[in-house]
Amino acid sequence: MHVEEICRLHSTYREDMRVMGYCFGKGDKSACIVGAMRGNEIQQMYICSQLVRALTELENNGCVSAGKSVLVIPVVNAYSVNTGNRFFGVKDVDINRSFPGNDFGEPVSRLADALLSRIGEYSFGIQLASFYMQGEFVPHVRMMETGYQNTSLANLFGLPYAVVRRPLPIDTATLNYNWQDAETCAFSLYTNCTDRIDENTARQGVAAILRFLTRMGIIRYESHSGYISHVLYESDLSDVYAGRGGIFRGQVKAGEDVRYGMELAQIIDPFDGRIRERITAPTDGIVFFAHTESLVNESDVAYRLIHRLHE
Amino acid sequence: MLEKVFETELAVGEHLAVRRNRLEPEGGWKKRITLVSGIHGDELEGQYICYEVVRRIKENSRFLTGCVDVYPALNPMGIDMAHRTMPKIGMDLNRMFPGKEKGSMTDRLTAAIVDSIIGSDICIDLHASDIFVREIPQVRLAEEFAEELLPYARWTNVDMIWMNATATVHESTLAHSLNLMGIPTLVIEMGQGENINRSYGDQVVDGIFRVMQEMGIWQGPVADTREPAVSSDGEVEFIRSDVDGVFLPQAEHDHYVHSGDLIGEVVDPFEGTVKRQIYAKRGGLLFTLRAYPVVYEGDLLARILAQ
């Protein structure tokens, strides 16, 4: 393994922000894994750190295939991690909405451009991503429907679900979209949390990436076969909205099997403790996303269900 | 008449409501103008403009012959907190249009805003700059709608019309969504974030009354309006910092500069040295000037509309 600087950003008041890459093997640019692009993506950073640790051991044991190389970038946005901000700098810019970037524009555009220039040549790209809604997801692999997406390959992670999202205009500035545009086969990997570490799903995330790299012939690693992923389109998920605002008392978790009419959550009046609303399942299915914050606003997404699917 | 166009219950003892003031003549009307502002909570120039438009109409309501809808705050919690985005979720409301009736809170909010504007004969979306740069009053147009919008834009009394400038006029913004629906929508940008420049505000208010007069919404006297410079991206010189440091402007915003004039300096406060002196490569109107001193490499320092 060797460590290289991918790019750096100068500040008058802080040490330079250096984006560091951990390189394994020599040869074709086979796979690149990117971690925390936002300052609260602690789980994503942790998964990458554990991946670096695992790949170091595998490389020392001669388990990185000849002619293949893997690059891991655990943290892109260290400045924001250290200040506790999700987005970058005083302008509060989302780096993951700044691609492809350019080398003559704003600081974040330059950063995005420098990053994509370095990682755009890899055959496979895996981003440890997070969603703007606070809550728990079932671990899954997600890809944009760009015409280049390959759901068969998404299956090789062995996670329970592979989700295809039709991109909105706002998605076209993400790394995943632009990676695919650069002809990298790109995946976003979601575990169940963002700003805290969940050891179980972090291990699941590391195992899924190692499984994928093994199945693509990039490393040799004996692992459990995982799941045969269920492929679904994001538009097919059933959203269950909160009908009232108040204190959210969730009763089911991501991954649970629910039945039509089953009580999923209660919304409690924050002043007198009465139940304002009982949220019930509009369909049989599996909970794909669950709101986990203590408070909820009217019309917030409380749950997303995989319609008529059972454990 | 104050009306709520959207309301939703927040978690604790409050509703998020988007309100508009509808001003109508007594005898009915045929044409309708919509003024919206505060989609970005840190842009406050539109607050003065909304106030002044409503004030002038109320003071001379006999001249009103059409309907005027004024929405000072599309992102009311953002304005309250001086946040550009929607507080808590951190999403830019002006990247969420046109929304959908059955969706998340922001989907429903943006859909309700669009639904309430449908039927207007023209919409003007009032923005300020951010806190980082100061701007002269300007209309920003996406090139695809320029032919239809230019006649309206010329009445607005701005100093400049800039075609295909920034994301402000791009896809999933309110302006783009409304223009796609056939409602001519202009984006006016001026001043600086978290500030009100009353002089710029009065200039734009005069322009809004000219638009209203031309469209048969206002029969009263209006001030003379200026002919704006019309520019495409090629005529604008962007000056960015190639070093980090503290920017000290030397040139005056909203003034003409000559090629070779000193725009400002980027200095190092630790070493007491000038890291860069920034000169104009082309002469013209200095229509953008950095206001926030701390810069990274790549930050915008100035824009010049070349003569």
Contact B299 A107 (CB under 8 A): yes
Contact B16 A89 (CB under 8 A): no
Contact yes or no for A296/A242 (Cβ under 8 A): yes
Q: Write down the pLDDT at residue B169.
A: 52
Q: Write down the pLDDT at residue B96.
A: 92
Q: How far is B153 from chain A (nearest CA, A)?
A: 26
Contact B292 A90 (CB under 8 A): yes
Contact yes or no for B291/B276 (Cβ under 8 A): no
Per the structure, the complete domain to which residue A82 belongs is given by 2-228
Q: How far is A277 from chain B (nearest CA, A)?
A: 13
Contacts of B170 in chain A (CB under 8 A): 169
Q: Write down the pLDDT at residue A107.
A: 95
Task: Tell me the pLDDT band of B165, cut-offs 50, 70 and 90.
Answer: low
Is residue B12 within 8 angstroms of chain A, CB to CB? Answer: yes
| A160 and A116 co-located in one domain | yes
Mutate to test the interface with A, among B12, B130, B275 (most CBs of A within 10 A): B12
Q: Write down the pLDDT at residue B249.
A: 98
What residue ranges do the domains of chain B occupy? 2-230, 234-306
Q: How far is A86 from chain B (nearest CA, A)?
A: 9
Contacts of A297 in chain B (CB under 8 A): 8-11, 16, 105
| A206 and A243 co-located in one domain | no
Mutate to test the interface with A, among B244, B270, B271 (most CBs of A within 10 A): B244
A residues 263-282 lying closer than 8 A (beta carbon) to B:
270-271
| A255 and A193 co-located in one domain | no
**What tokens appear for A213 in the block?**
């790299």
Is residue A235 within 8 angstroms of chain B, CB to CB? Answer: no
**Can you say how many angstroms the Cα of residue B121 is from the centroid of all Cα atoms in its chain?**
19
Which ranges of chain A have pLDDT less than 50?
none
B residues 223-242 lying closer than 8 A (beta carbon) to A:
240
Is residue A228 within 8 angstroms of chain B, CB to CB? Answer: no
| A36 and A77 co-located in one domain | yes
Which residue does chain A place closest to B131, by CA atoms? A91
Q: Write down the pLDDT at residue B233.
A: 67
Q: Write down the pLDDT at residue A44.
A: 97
Contact A90 B103 (CB under 8 A): no
Residues paired with B18 in a beta bridge? B6
| A105 and A206 co-located in one domain | yes
Task: Tell me the pLDDT band of B303, cut-offs 50, 70 and 90.
Answer: very high
Q: How far is B204 from chain A (nearest CA, A)?
A: 27
Contact B10 A245 (CB under 8 A): yes
| A265 and A221 co-located in one domain | no
Q: For chain B, what is the mean pLDDT?
A: 95
- The rounded distance, in Å, linking the Cα atoms of A266 and B52 is 46
Contact A246 B245 (CB under 8 A): no
Which residue does chain A place closest to B266, by CA atoms? A12
Domain C-terminal end among A228, A246, A263: A228
Domain C-terminal end among A196, A228, A260: A228
DSSP code string of chain A: -EEEEEEEE--SSS--EEEEEEEEESEEEEEEEEEESSTT-HHHHHHHHHHHHHHHHHHHTT-BPTEEEEEEEEES-HHHHHHT-SSBTTTTB-GGGS-S--SSS-HHHHHHHHHHHHHTT-SEEEEE---SS-EEE--EEEEE-SS---HHHHGGG--SEEEEEPPPGGGGGSHHHHHHHTT-EEEEEE-S-SSS--HHHHHHHHHHHHHHHHHTTSB---------PEEEEGGGEEEEE-SS-EEEEE---TT-EE-TT-EEEEEE-TTT--EEEEEE-SSSEEEEEEE-SSEE-TT-EEEEEEET---
| Fold category of B2-230 in CATH | Aminopeptidase (3.40.630)
Which residue does chain A place closest to B177, by CA atoms? A169
Domain C-terminal end among A228, A245, A275: A228
Mutate to test the interface with B, among A130, A298, A301 (most CBs of B within 10 A): A298
Q: Write down the pLDDT at residue B143.
A: 84
A residues 31-90 lying closer than 8 A (beta carbon) to B:
86-87, 89-90
How does pLDDT run across B261-299, given as a tens digit for each residue?
Answer: 999 999 999 999 999 999 999 999 999 999 999 999 999
Contacts of A269 in chain B (CB under 8 A): none
How does pLDDT run across B229-264, given as a tens digit for each residue?
Answer: 998 767 899 999 999 999 999 999 999 999 999 999
How does pLDDT run across B179-212, given as a tens digit for each residue?
Answer: 999 999 999 999 999 999 999 999 999 999 999 9
A35: domain CATH number is 3.40.630.10
Burial of B27 (0-12, 13-18, 19+ CB in 10 A): exposed
DSSP assignment, residue B143? G
Is residue B103 within 8 angstroms of chain A, CB to CB? Answer: yes
Contact A297 B270 (CB under 8 A): no
How does pLDDT run across B60-112, given as a tens digit for each residue?
Answer: 999 999 999 999 999 999 999 999 999 888 889 999 999 999 999 999 999 99
| A29 and A152 co-located in one domain | yes
| A200 and A280 co-located in one domain | no
Least CB–CB distance from B172: residue in A11, A170, A295: A170
CA angle A204, A206, A210 (to 5 degrees): 115
| A241 and A223 co-located in one domain | no
| A148 and A83 co-located in one domain | yes
CATH architecture of B234-306: Beta Barrel (2.40)
**List of residues 6+ apart from B207 with CB closer than 8 A:** B155, B156, B157, B158, B225
Q: How far is B242 from chain A (nearest CA, A)?
A: 9
Contact B89 A132 (CB under 8 A): yes
Least CB–CB distance from B12: residue in A92, A168, A270: A270
| A275 and A150 co-located in one domain | no
Q: How far is A157 from chain B (nearest CA, A)?
A: 30
Q: How far is B273 from chain A (nearest CA, A)?
A: 13
- The rounded distance, in Å, linking the Cα atoms of A44 and A94 is 16
Q: Write down the pLDDT at residue A311.
A: 67
Coil, helix or strand for B178? helix
A287: domain CATH number is 2.40.50.100
- The rounded distance, in Å, linking the Cα atoms of B45 and B54 is 15
Contact B297 A91 (CB under 8 A): no
Is residue B299 within 8 angstroms of chain A, CB to CB? Answer: yes
| A223 and A264 co-located in one domain | no
Task: Tell me the pLDDT band of B167, cut-offs 50, 70 and 90.
Answer: low
Least CB–CB distance from A300: residue in B105, B171, B268: B105
Least CB–CB distance from A132: residue in B13, B91, B103: B91
Which residue does chain B place closest to A106, by CA atoms? B298
**Count of structural domains, chain A:** 2
